[in-house]
Structure formats: C-alpha cells, structure tokens
C-alpha cells in the first residue's frame, strides 16, 4: 500500500493533483466529494439536492442502512444517471479498498441496450482514470475483460452488467439492480400492453437474478400508477416492507432545484412547449391523466347534505378477474345529483362478501338496493333479500335487466358526460380529515384509481366493472331500455 501511494505522490507532482490527506479521505468515503473531482462544474456546494442525492445513494450502495428498496424521481437533465454511474464506480473502489468480502455486483437495466452501453463505458473510463487509481489502488479492471457491458474487477468473477429491459442479465448473484428510466417515454407509459410487458420483465426476469440480500433502485419519471416502480412500491406497502424515496420537484415555492439547468424563464418555455400533463409528470413528479381516458374530470363535495336518502347499486362479477362492485350513493332534493358515499370493490366470491354486503346495507339504512340481474346477480339478490327479511330490515332489493339491444360499451360511453356532471365524490380534503368522522371502505381508493384510468377505447381496459357500476346508478333512476324485477 505504501509503495503504491509513493508512486501516486510522484505522479501527483507531475499532474498537480491535490493529494492532501483530508481531501483524499473525503473523496474515498463520500460520493459527492468523489463526483466533485470528476465534474466540479455540476457537483457544487450550493447544489443541495445533489448532496442529498449522493447521501441517498450511499445508503443504497454502501449498505449504510438495512433498507433494501430505493426510489428516485426528479426532473430530467438534473444528473440522475450521471450520479448513479459515479456512485457505482465509487462503490466498487470503496469495497476493494476495505478488502471486504461483501463486494457488490451491479446489474444496470435501462429502456435500451445503448443506454446501458453508454453508462458502462462511463464507469470504465472513471475506473481507468489516473485519479481513480490514486483513490482506489486495489480496484482495477480485470485484464482481458474487454466486454463493454459485462465486466469485472481483478479478483472478482463479475462486477457490472448492463442491458436493456428487453434483454437479459447474464449470470446471477447481483447484490444491486438499478432500473434506470425503463419507461422510455410517454407513449410507452400510455400503452397498457407495453406497461404490462415491462412489469412482467421486471418481476419474472430481473428479480430472479439477485442474491438473497438484493437491493433495488428505481430511478425514473413518475409517469403512471401502473408502471413497474409503482407496482413494486405498492407490493412493499402491502407486505409491510420499508423503502426510501428521494423525490424532488423542479421548483417549490419559487425556489428552483438547479437554476443552472432550469430557471423561471426556462421553466415557462418548457411549460409552453409541451402538454400540461407531460410537463407536470417530468418536472413536478405528478402522474399523468391517461391519454384517452373516458372520464376527463370529476366533481367533488366537501360536505354532505343532511337530508340524503341512501341507495346502492351492485354489479356482480361474471368472471374470475372481474370485480364485484357495490356503490353507495345518496339522493337529496335535487335527484339529478348523486352523492357517492362509499364503495365495495372486490374479487372475493359472492358467498365471501354476502355478510359484508348485508352489513353495508344495514349501516347506511339503504332505501333500495339495485342489482344487475344478469348472470349471478338475481341469485345473489335473492340471498340478500332473505337475510334482510330474517332481520326485519325494510330495504327493497330490485333487479335491473338491460334490454337486448343495450350494449355495455355504448351504455357506458353515452352516459359518461352525465357521470361527470351528476356524480359527486368525496374530496381529498374530506377523506384526509384527521378526526376520521368520514370513513370509507379500503376498496374505495382502488375503485377511484380504476375509474380515473378507464380508457375511451374499451379493449385497452382490463375490466369495466367500475364504469359499468357507476353507469348503473344513472340507469337505476330511469325506465328506459331496462326493466325491473
């Protein structure tokens, strides 16, 4: 070690590198100081978000925290990928210097092979630089390991592999996998088929290549709620696993993230040059309203009228992947306004939810429960009627049968404007009330997400249960192309 540092000192005299012990220590142990040497024009002391981002990456790459799942969202051209490249180069040298057994093996996945190639070359250039050799003298690229996207350091069988999302990670045992902008653009984000394919690739291919202590980083634009990063995050929440999210907007309260890249003037130019939803997704990390969504806008209420009479409409599941949807709504003096109060939205069987439906009817003292009478609906209605009679509850159960010429798609589409104009939903302010005097079922959130994402082109929807049930409310108030039984 001493001999190598002596040679480094001699090299320093020729190149005028500052090798003060304090500077070396910082750059050997801190990603930001390391990045500052290679790109001082970007990694400046006044760029607090980059300092915070480097600490965030240290938690991941240097295993400073036991948490294994990390998510990053901030605007384009703000050095997300460059910082990841530098963090990987730093981490490989860091563990080599410590001569620890817990080396890292990084798998890097982007939307295309070409991006992976660029990142790989950038990392190798840093490792091959003279200054890197001074900082991390034990980290050397393995001789003869000339592959651009699959290489190792001396003493290791593998250190880094890069691929596109459609490719495959060769080998196994990755300790870290980075998903870097695997959703290429807004067109990909808005394609159900492509998003489903990405989710399959991430879950079935990439995760199978990690070791038991695999750490994951998703670095991306917050496009849509069903993209892989959000799907994975939801799975962590459901399983009770922790994660760390690093999210920054281009500006908050007039303070810009990095005025060298985007200032007020540039932001206005960007805003005027692209669609509002795409602009908000890129620069404010707000999910886009899906292009082609049937329902463009919804109306909300902050307070419920006191004189409401409550009704229910239930559409029972026809197939295994369908939802049974029960919507509770109130009518007041103006019977053209439907106050949506609650929702049961589930894939559980009818027998499993029978008692829950009964409890909801009792809780809201429903005047009438309308049930779509086709398929299993009539039978389920009979079961509920028996329970109501046995418990002396006055709720009337009424089956609705649609006419033979009444196609579901036409029915939903032709009533979409009335749904937007006449159906009022609880506001977020009301749902967030800390005193919990306004409570909805857990299913309500999923129901609203499906409703907001429902596509005008019907074949692009996984199911139509949310829209069909809401349309059923409109139909339950009239006797047109339907009959009651």
pLDDT category of residue 287 using cuts at 50, 70 and 90: confident
C-alpha torsion angle, residues 425, 431, 432, 437 (rounded to 10): 140
User: Tell me, what's the pLDDT at 466?
Assistant: 93
Residues 246-263, mean pLDDT to the nearest whole number: 92
Residue 468 predicted with pLDDT over 80: yes
Residue 452 predicted with pLDDT over 60: yes
CA angle 322, 327, 328 (to 5 degrees): 160
User: Tell me, what's the pLDDT at 402?
Assistant: 78
pLDDT category of residue 338 using cuts at 50, 70 and 90: very high
pLDDT category of residue 194 using cuts at 50, 70 and 90: confident
User: Tell me, what's the pLDDT at 8?
Assistant: 37
User: Tell me, what's the pLDDT at 437?
Assistant: 63
Residue 485 predicted with pLDDT over 50: no
Q: Which residue has the higher pLDDT, 407 or 248?
A: 248
User: Tell me, what's the pLDDT at 3?
Assistant: 33
Distance separating alpha carbons of residues 288 and 168, to the nearest angstrom: 30
Domains in the chain: ranges and CATH:
2-284 (3.40.50.300), 299-484 (3.30.420.280)
Q: Which residue has the higher pLDDT, 21 or 400?
A: 400
Exposure string (b/e) for 342-381, b if CB count within 10 Å is 16 or more? Answer: bbbbbeeebeebeeebbebbeebebeebbbbbeebbeebb
User: Tell me, what's the pLDDT at 201?
Assistant: 87
Q: What is the pLDDT of residues 59-87, one digit of tens each?
A: 999 988 999 999 999 999 999 999 999 99
User: Tell me, what's the pLDDT at 337?
Assistant: 93
What is the C-alpha end-to-end distance of the chain, expressed in Å?
89
Residue owning tokens 């760390």: 244
User: Tell me, what's the pLDDT at 195?
Assistant: 87
Residue 164, both tokens: 């596109």
Residues 320-348, mean pLDDT to the nearest whole number: 92
pLDDT category of residue 482 using cuts at 50, 70 and 90: very low
Distance separating alpha carbons of residues 126 and 130, to the nearest angstrom: 9
Residue 99 predicted with pLDDT over 80: no
pLDDT category of residue 170 using cuts at 50, 70 and 90: low
Q: Pick the most confident of 143-152, 385-394, 456-465.
A: 385-394
Mean pLDDT of the chain: 85
User: Tell me, what's the pLDDT at 15?
Assistant: 37
User: Tell me, what's the pLDDT at 20?
Assistant: 57
Q: Of the ranges 37-41, 159-163, 168-172, 417-421, which one carries the lowest mean pLDDT score?
A: 168-172
Residue 318 predicted with pLDDT over 80: no
Residues 277-304, mean pLDDT to the nearest whole number: 83
Rg (CA), the chain: 29
Q: Of the ranges 330-339, 403-412, 474-483, which one carries the lowest mean pLDDT score?
A: 474-483
Residue 192 predicted with pLDDT over 90: no
Residues 257-263, mean pLDDT to the nearest whole number: 94
Residues 455-478, mean pLDDT to the nearest whole number: 85
Residue 342, both tokens: 């609650």
Residue 24 predicted with pLDDT over 80: no
User: Tell me, what's the pLDDT at 274?
Assistant: 83
User: Tell me, what's the pLDDT at 481?
Assistant: 40
Residue 11 predicted with pLDDT over 80: no
User: Tell me, what's the pLDDT at 320?
Assistant: 73
Distance separating alpha carbons of residues 264 and 225, to the nearest angstrom: 29
Among 406, 383, 385, residue whose Cα is nearest residue 394: 385
Q: Of the ranges 68-82, 125-139, 205-219, 418-432, which one carries the lowest mean pLDDT score?
A: 205-219
User: Tell me, what's the pLDDT at 478?
Assistant: 62
Which residues have CB under 8 Å from 110's CB, separation 6+? 116, 119, 162, 164, 165, 179, 180, 181, 182
DSSP helix, strand, coil percent of the chain (3-state; round to 5): 45, 20, 35
């Amino acid at each position: 070690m001493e001999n190598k540092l002596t040679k480094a000192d001699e090299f320093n005299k020729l190149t005028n590198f500052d090798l003060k012990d304090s500077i070396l220590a910082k750059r050997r142990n801190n990603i930001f100081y390391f990045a500052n040497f290679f790109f001082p024009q970007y990694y400046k002391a006044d760029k607090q978000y980059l300092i915070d981002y480097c600490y965030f990456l240290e938690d991941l790459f240097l295993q400073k925290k036991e948490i294994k799942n990390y998510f990053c969202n901030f605007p384009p051209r703000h050095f997300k990928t460059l910082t990841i490249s530098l963090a990987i180069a730093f981490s490989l040298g860091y563990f080599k210097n410590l001569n620890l057994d817990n080396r890292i093996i990084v798998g890097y996945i982007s939307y295309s092979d070409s991006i992976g190639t660029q990142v790989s070359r950038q990392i190798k250039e840093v490792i091959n630089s003279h200054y890197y050799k001074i900082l991390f003298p034990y980290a050397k690229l393995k001789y003869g390991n000339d592959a651009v996207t699959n290489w190792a350091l001396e003493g290791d069988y593998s250190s880094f592999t890069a691929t596109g999302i459609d490719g495959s990670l060769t080998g196994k045992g990755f300790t870290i996998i980075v998903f870097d902008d695997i959703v290429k653009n807004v067109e990909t984000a808005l394609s159900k088929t492509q998003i489903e394919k990405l989710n399959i690739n991430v879950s079935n291919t990439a995760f199978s290549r990690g070791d038991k202590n695999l750490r994951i980083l998703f670095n991306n634009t917050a496009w849509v709620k069903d993209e892989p990063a959000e799907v994975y995050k939801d799975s962590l929440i459901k399983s009770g696993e922790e994660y760390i999210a690093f999210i920054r907007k281009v500006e908050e309260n007039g303070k810009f993230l990095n005025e060298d890249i985007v200032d007020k003037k540039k932001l206005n130019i960007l805003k005027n040059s692209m669609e509002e939803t795409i602009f908000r997704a890129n620069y404010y990390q707000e999910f886009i309203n899906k292009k082609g969504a049937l329902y463009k806008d919804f109306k909300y209420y902050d307070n419920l009228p006191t004189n409401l009479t409550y009704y229910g409409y239930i559409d029972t599941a026809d197939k295994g992947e369908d939802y049974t949807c029960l919507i509770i709504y109130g009518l007041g003096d103006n019977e053209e306004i439907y106050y949506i109060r609650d929702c049961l939205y589930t894939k559980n069987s009818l027998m499993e939810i029978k008692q829950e439906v009964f409890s909801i009817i009792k809780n809201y003292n429903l005047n009438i429960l309308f049930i779509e009478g086709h398929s299993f609906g009539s039978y389920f209605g009979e079961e509920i009627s028996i329970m109501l009679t046995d418990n002396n509850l006055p709720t009337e159960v009424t089956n609705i049968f649609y006419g033979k010429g009444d196609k579901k798609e036409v029915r939903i589409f032709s009533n979409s404007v009335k749904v937007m104009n006449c159906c009022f939903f609880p506001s977020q302010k009301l749902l967030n009330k800390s005193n919990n005097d306004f409570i909805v079922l857990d299913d309500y959130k999923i129901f609203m997400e499906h409703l907001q994402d429902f596509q005008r082109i019907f074949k692009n929807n996984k199911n139509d249960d949310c829209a069909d049930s809401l349309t059923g409310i409109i139909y339950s108030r009239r006797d047109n192309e339907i009959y009651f039984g």
